[in-house]
Amino acid sequence: MERKIFFIQFVLGLLFLSGCASSAYYNAAVKTQPHPIGCVEYLNLCLAESPAHEEALAMKKEISHSVAADLSSKCASVENKDPDKSLKFLDRLILFGNLAGMPISKEQEKRGELAKKASEIFYQKGLSLFGGDISRISTVTKEITKQGVKFFRTCLGFYPGYKEAQDWYQKCVESAIERIVILDFHNPYPNFSGLSNNLTSSSLSKLMERRPELLEFLSRDQFKNLHPEIMIPDLSSGIMDTNLFKDVKGANYIVAGKILSVIPTDTGWQEQDQKNTIKIGVYNDKGKRIGEESVTAWWTLKSRKTSLAIKASYEVIDVYTTKIRKKSTLGNSFVDSQVYLASFGGDERALPSEIRAISTSPQEPKNHLELCEIIVDKMAESFSKELFSDFMIK
């Protein structure tokens, strides 16, 4: 008998909790009615707890029909003049239909039709750039072939494999690729002899991480491997003459620069003597406070700070016109410091907590070559970002 009563109480408890949860979800849905997706999500949670919740069922039906009608109307209004925009409304309708549990098979079928329409529009835009003749791709400017890449890429995005769009896209890519050779920066600082090469190699690595579609970035050595017959001028003197690059065929642009300044500093180990006096209570054998006394601790801190600042400039040179496309500067710095507690004396109770936390073991700050590695990585990041942004398809 007791077991039966316990079971009834357990079931009633579950029903009570379920009712509380469904009411909370329904109330949240009411508050979020201006945001249909959020509202339907709350209604779904409510109905998962109480499938027969009449108010939730009615609200979900009303909202679903209203949103579906609105998106269907917007989709139809621009279907012929702007299939791309129509597709966006249709995708939102399909997404909402899935959430609301509405049948969407017709919408999914319609999506295929709209995708073909959108693909055709961009396909024709691409063809019109070259008069429908694929052989003309190699005869027009790179700016036009870049537009072709955008049109055919968009076409294939709507409907992969659409007509001959893939062939056109590939031909446009081959013709639009720009080859940019990054030379090692002229570096007049022998104590940092690896700076230039490290900056170039790190920048190239970061550029490749960005997966450039129509850009090929190469070092001097990589370009030589491709074109051993072409000589790139030696800039070891630091003198920049853009006319030197007019015969570097096979490259579209040359990036050449120089290190303007490398400023290292090192304070060496410096000592700082400090002390601290505090008053502490004095207690008798019975633990009663009978007065106070002053205690003092003194200590010596040793600190050292190293820093490095590097500044560079570069130019992007158009090989075919020998004109400078861009001039810019790069720069970064880094500071490292270490401090340790060299000695202390007196009453340890007077040592401040922040002094107690300082290590008693000396540790050297980063040396200038280590700082250089950190700075080069930061400069390569900004350098690669600048170059990529300058050449990417807008």
Contact 346, 298 (CB under 8 A): yes
Is 86 a domain residue? yes
Is the Cβ–Cβ distance between 284 and 323 less than 8 Å? no
Q: Provide φ and ψ at 89, rounded to 5°.
A: -65, -40
Helical (H) or strand (E) element with 225: helix 220-226
What is the 3 state secondary structure string of 61-120? Answer: HHHHHHHHHHHHHHHHHCCCCCHHHHHHHHHHHHHHHHHHCCCCHHHHHHHHHHHHHHHH
Is residue 301 included in any domain, yes or no?
no
Instruction: Give the chain's mean pLDDT.
Output: 87
Greater pLDDT, 354 or 390: 354
Q: What is the pLDDT of residue 334?
A: 97
Indicate if 45 and 143 belong to the same structural domain: no
Q: Which residue has the higher pLDDT, 33 or 368?
A: 368
Both 83 and 166 in one domain: the answer is: no
Domain that holds residue 20: 15-103
DSSP lists the bridge partners of residue 314 as 257, 328
Q: Which two tokens stand for residue 44?
A: 């779904």
What SS3 state is found at 266? strand
More confident residue, 276 or 391: 276
pLDDT band at residue 89, thresholds of 50, 70 and 90? confident
Q: Which of helix, strand or coil describes residue 269?
A: coil
pLDDT tens across 216-252, in order? 898 888 888 878 877 777 665 555 666 667 667 778 8
Answer yes or no: do 75 and 169 share one domain: no
Q: Is the same domain home to 184 and 249?
A: yes
pLDDT tens digits along 68-77: 889 889 888 8
pLDDT of 4 over the 50 cut: no
Measured in degrees and rounded to the nearest 5, phi and psi for residue 277 equal -120, 135
Could you tell me the two tokens for 278? 């505090």
Residues 164, 194, single domain; the answer is no
Identify the domain boundary among 158, 176, 194.
Answer: 176
Where would I find the H helices in 103-212?
105-129, 142-158, 165-176, 195-209
Q: Has residue 10 got a pLDDT over 70?
A: no
Is residue 20 very low, low, confident or very high in pLDDT (cuts 50, 70, 90)? confident
Burial class (CB in 10 A: 0-12, 13-18, 19+), 306: buried
- Do 87 and 137 have their domain in common? no
Together in a domain, 26 and 95: yes
Number of domains forming the structure of the chain = 3
Q: Is residue 266 part of a domain?
A: no
* CB-based burial label for 319 (10 Å; 0-12, 13-18, 19+): buried
For residue range 277-335, what is the model confidence (pLDDT) as tens digits?
Answer: 999 988 888 888 888 999 999 999 999 999 999 999 999 988 888 888 999 999 999 99
172, 44: one domain: no
Please give the Cα distance from 386 to 356 (Å, whole number).
47
Q: pLDDT value at position 15?
A: 38
- CA–CA dist 81, 83 (Å, integer): 6
Return the pLDDT at 110: 84
DSSP secondary structure letter of residue 227: -
pLDDT for the residue numbered 6: 42
Token pair of 61, please? 């039906």
From 103, 134, 160, give the residue that closes a domain: 103
Whether 45 is in a domain gets the answer yes
Rounded average pLDDT over 357-377: 95
pLDDT digits (tens, 9 = 90+) for 118-137: 899 899 999 999 999 999 99
Write down the pLDDT at residue 238.
55
**172 and 214 belong to one structural domain:** no
Residues 204, 314 within the same domain = yes
Residue 12 confidence (pLDDT) above 50:
no
- DSSP characters over 361-381: S--PPP-HHHHHHHHHHHHHH
Which residues are CB-neighbours of 40 under 8 A, at least 6 positions away?
29, 60, 63, 64, 96, 99, 100
Domain boundary among 77, 103, 129: 103
Which percentage of the chain shows pLDDT scores above 90? 47
Do 317 and 235 fall within a single domain? yes
